[in-house]
A and B are shown apart, each in its own frame.
Chain A
Amino acid sequence: AQKITQTQPGMFVQEKEAVTLDCTYDTSDQSYGLFWYKQPSSGEMIFLIYQGSYDEQNATEGRYSLNFQKARKSANLVISASQLGDSAMYFCAMVFRDQGGKLIFGQGTELSVKP
């Protein structure tokens, strides 16, 4: 069965510090993709970063980086230099090429950045 797990319902981080949000997944497929999305209180889903299962380098996008450990089936999101505007829900999601592109989401982590 394909499953995404985020074990941290809520996280706190001090402004300007780095934070790691955990994501593990379970699949026997070799071809898949991993996403991280941010969802502020407005509800919109904001794409942050993507990692393909065959990508050898960890993905980075500005202050976001994805710590991809394929053997451990983990895809943790690292946010550096946290800002107050980073306070939101964060979802890890997985997509499979042979399933028409549909996303399977983790439970989400609510991040609160303290001033």
Chain B
Amino acid sequence: GAVVSQHPSWVICKSGTSVKIECRSLDFQATTMFWYRQFPKQSLMLMATSNEGSKATYEQGVEKDKFLINHASLTLSTLTVTSAHPEDSSFYICSASDRGGGVYEQYFGPGTRLTVT
């Protein structure tokens, strides 16, 4: 149980285009989803926290107009990288916590590798 999927697993896009990444909780309802970004050989950095039906809370330094997050249902959150540039190339990972578990329960998706050319 507690499976989180991400789609796509990898994507290549041209500079200036937008890319949408989906994060789904497959067998539980995720009241809260988190989006992380990871550059090669570095740690995970939290970008934003999204709660179902409300606006996402972005971490300091993360451009909310560039990284659009929508948590429209209890099983789906999307991250859209708008007007992508090569410096946005990174590994994006989502995680989800369920309503029934404690606040510490968090399940990770497999990640999405974004390359902007």
Chain A positions near chain B (C-beta within 8 angstroms): 33, 37, 42-45, 47, 50, 52, 91, 95, 97, 100-108
A97 to B105, CA, bound (A): 11
A52 to B93, CA, bound (A): 24
Which residues of the other chain, B, contact A106 by a CB distance below 8 angstroms?
43
Count A-B pairs with CB separation below 8 Å. Answer: 54
- Given A95-B103, A100-B32, A101-B106, is A43 in contact with B111 using a C-beta cutoff of 8 Å? yes
Interface size on B, residues (CB 8 A): 21
Given A101-B97, A101-B103, A103-B34, does the pair A44, B110 have CB atoms closer than 8 Å? yes
Task: Kindly state the separation between the CA atoms of A104 and B44 in the bound complex, as whole angstroms.
Answer: 8
CB contact list, B17-43 vs A, under 8 A: 32, 34, 38, 42-43
Residues from chain A with Cβ under 8 Å of B34 in the complex: 101-103
- Given known pairs A101-B97, A102-B34, A102-B49, the reply for A45 and B108 (CB within 8 Å) is yes
User: Complex Cα distance A107/B32, Å?
Assistant: 24
Q: Select the residue from B34, B43, B95, B113 with max chain A CB neighbours within 10 A.
A: B43
User: In the complex, which residues of chain A have a beta carbon less than 8 angstroms from the beta carbon of B113?
Assistant: 43
Report A16 CB to chain B, min CB distance, Å.
Answer: 28
